[in-house]
A = this chain, B = another copy of it.
Amino acid sequence: MSELDPDLTEAAVADHQREAVAARPPLSRRALLGAAVAGTAGLVVGRVAGPLIPSSPTPTPGPKASSLVAPAVTPFFGVHQAGVSTPLQDHLHFAAFDMLEGARRDDLVNLLRDWSAAAARMTQGLPVSLPESRGSDPDASADTGESLGLPASGLTITIGLGPRLFESDGVDRYDIAAARPPELEPLPRFDGDALSEVLSDGDLGVQVCADDPQVAVHAVRNLSRIAIGRAAIRWSQMGFMHTTKDSAIPQTPRNLLGFKDGSNNILGANEAVVDQHVWLPPTSIPAWAAGGTYMVVRKIAMVIDAWDRQPMAKQQAIIGRTKETGAPLSGGEEFTAPDFEARVDGMDAIDHAAHVRLAHPSSNGGTRILRRGYNYVDGTDAYGRLEAGLLFISYQRSPGQFITLQRALRADLLNPFIAHLGSAIFVVPPGAPEGGFVGKTLLG
């Protein structure tokens, strides 16, 4: 592992806020809409024109046609898959699929081809069309309909391949075992893991994000329908995160501990840092994965009621930052670099086992990951306690980056208040060129 980050000087970290603002797309959606109307926009934005069902005798008027905020379209095709360095959307529906017993290599190839074609349409706000839905009953309609008339809502669909897809119990089901990236192994067991099989793993992992939960759910549902006869959902998870990506002053979203989550995260728009820590370089082995990345998914439950009983000072000591502003307890503002040497009244300002210290790149040889987690609430347990937490998702060019950071958290003061219930790892192939499909570099 050589994750040393030359940018990670204290000054650079202190500059994070300025960088964050600078790295943001310079135009608001409204400005982009204006530009699009004027025909000068460089990005694809705005609702795709035309009736959603071509056979419609009377095209319905577009929703929010006169709304102030133009819905975003993020292209599915590209050098990298969308949904990794893309600014966080407000909603997530993650789904892990297993290939069905008896499915063959052709089924896998056709599934990835159909998914890519459907994803290309859905991410433009279009319904799934018939050729992709071949797995369904031929009499059934191609699209399930619940997103008819809704804008694309920034939908991204990011497809990953799990270790067992390459080899399951020693069986090379799809003739790809030799192409398995050596680093694509099930994650090691970590201290405090309380994993459930029904919330873990998967032959295929699909991260679906959108600014409208109905659009995200529609995408997972239709991908699942397209998979009929070839693959089925193993587990899935909804999530939400309050983003302020359209604001002039972006705010770091808060997790359900009530703290800002991601103050020191890699910014997707910072291409140099993403290239260094996230994307697999052109020299990757195997070469088919170049331009891809590794996705780690962890379902982390929070012991909400116990956490909420802690005094504010204790919560802040555990995290190592203030709750309101997110400033490190060593002083300053949210994006001020933590000073782990600082002392207050003869004590460490930031506890030796505070979360921010253990997780910080400077405590881990510069190791960084791009986190893209979402808060979840699954309702309430039999004791009336919220079943809530974080669906942690991280992207990194090596699983070792996540493993290093997760092992560093062994002594984390936060551990009594969280439990890792689910775990999965996937290699994310590079993006597909227009009309191609994700996985083609592996499967031809």
Contacts and interface: CB of A to CB of B under 8 A. Distances in A.
Contacts of A254: 145-149, 214
A253 to B, nearest CB: 8
Given A214-B240, A240-B213, A244-B63, A137 B309 contact: yes
Contacts of A240: 213-214
A30 interface: yes
A217 B386 CA distance: 9
Contacts of A61: 249
A247 B148 contact: no
Interface string A208-244: 0000111001001100110000001111111011101
Best-buried of A238, A249, A308 by chain B (most CB within 10 Å): A308
Nearest to A258: B145
Contacts of A148: 254, 258, 323-324
A248 interface: yes
Contacts of A30: 68
Nearest to A221: B386
Nearest to A214: B242
A6 interface: no
A234 B384 contact: yes
A378 B52 CA distance: 28
Given A64-B244, A249-B65, A217 B137 contact: no
A246 interface: yes
B212 A242 contact: yes
A375 B248 contact: no
Given A65-B248, A146-B256, A214-B240, A140 B380 contact: no
B249 A384 contact: no
Given A65-B247, A66-B248, A251-B149, A60 B379 contact: no
Q: What is the copy number of this chain in the assembly?
A: 2
A32 to B, nearest CB: 12
Interface residues of A, number: 84
Given A248-B66, A258-B148, A309 B140 contact: yes
Nearest to A383: B232
B256 A64 contact: no
A397 to B, nearest CB: 30
A427 interface: no
A224 B386 CA distance: 9
Interface in A3-31: 28, 30
Contacts of A137: 309, 311
A315 interface: yes
Interface in A307-328: 308-312, 315, 323-325
A364 interface: no
A48 interface: no
A247 B144 CA distance: 25
Given A214-B375, A311-B140, A146 B258 contact: yes
Interface in A126-172: 136-137, 139-141, 143-150
A204 interface: no
Q: Which 10 pairs across A and B sit closest by C-beta, in order of nearness?
A: A145-B258, A232-B384, A233-B384, A66-B248, A141-B312, A139-B311, A236-B380, A213-B240, A64-B247, A68-B68
